[in-house]
Amino acid sequence: MAKLHVKKGDRVLILTGKEKGKKGKIIRVLPAKGRVVVEGLNIVKKHARATQRVQAGIHEQEAPIDSSNVMVICPSCKEPTRIKKSPVQKEEKTVWLRACKKCGELLDK
């Protein structure tokens, strides 16, 4: 299981592929495969046979993107940035949280 630099709910910029340059929010993270699903991006068509739950037809859904092809957008400086780990004191413990490499603002609250 790989450790990823992104989490569910992060806003990201797509770096490569047909969706290059577009921004979106992560709706699902697949750490075992090292992939993420971004809301409204990388849409594929899925053919479905009729069942009790699903109506037959061609459905559109988001497909996973490799996590190395996305870059986190910092909520404070609104720029795509890399991630650094910053130590934060919490109840006599040092906890390492994600922070923006450009402005130093914490991404995890």
Q: DSSP characters for 10-49?
A: -EEEE-SSTTTT-EEEEEEEETTTTEEEETT-SEEEEEE-
Residues 43 and 83 in one domain: no
12: domain CATH number is 2.30.30.30
Q: What is the pLDDT along the chain (109 residues), one digit of tens a residue?
A: 678 899 999 999 999 999 999 999 999 999 999 999 999 999 999 999 999 999 999 999 999 999 999 999 999 999 999 999 999 898 889 999 999 999 989 998 7
Residues 69 and 50 in one domain: yes
**pLDDT for res 91:** 87
Domain count of the fold of the chain: 2
Residues 8 and 35 in one domain: yes
Residues 37 and 83 in one domain: no
Bridge-partner residues for 26, per DSSP? 38
Q: What is the pTM of this model?
A: 0.82
Domain range for 6: 1-73
Look at the chain and count its residues. 109
Interatomic CA distance for residues 8 and 12, integer angstroms: 10
